[in-house]
Amino acid sequence: MYLGGVTFSINKSFGSLQLIPEPNGLRIYYTPVVNGVDNAEAPGFLNLVVPLDAIGGLWATTRAFLYGVESLDENVILQGRDKEGESDTLIKLYRDKPRGQNGRLSGEETCWLRIVTGRTEEERRRIKLGPRDLLCLELSCNAVLVLAGEAGLHQPKLAK
């Protein structure tokens, strides 16, 4: 668990997700709950940073979901190191298919955050997000953007 700064917590019966805004990205700290207690030693524990260049899309998609407007899913893929046998990490923000007439949003669609770091069940975390949870994600992404600007890390360059 991180202390000493602004953090956002999403707690579920199976795990707790702490979102920690940092100038270089959003730290995702997921701790599985085993027998009612957070256990950082349990399979599924995760401590990673979603890089700054992925935060804008995550922020925009979260806002769209929060306000119930049309939006595609957001997929962030962090490439693992092949030499060290690390698999890629997928962070996917999505919602159920529209339930309204003619394929339109009804406002009753469930939103999900999926974090996949490997092939085992413990490495495939799927977290149902309510409005409060979406607000935590939106605010944490916004805080990253503010921190990056203050730290002078927002310096986009044309990729060749």
CB 42 within 8 A of CB 34: yes
The DSSP H or E segment spanning 98 is none
Length of the chain (residues): 160
Q: What is the pLDDT of residues 23-63, one digit of tens each?
A: 999 999 999 999 999 999 999 999 999 999 999 999 999 99
Rounded average pLDDT over 103-127: 90
User: In degrees, to the nearest 5, what angle opens at C-alpha 110 toward C-alphas 103 and 116?
Assistant: 110
Q: How far apart are CA 73 and CA 57, in angstroms?
A: 10
Q: How far apart are CA 59 and CA 67, in angstroms?
A: 12
Whole-number pLDDT of residue 100: 84
CB 154 within 8 A of CB 148: yes
Confidence band of 1 (pLDDT split at 50, 70, 90): confident
For the chain, which domains are there? 8-151 (2.30.31.10)
**Report field, pTM of the whole predicted structure over 0.75:** yes
Token duo for residue 62? 């979260």
Token duo for residue 77? 């893929």
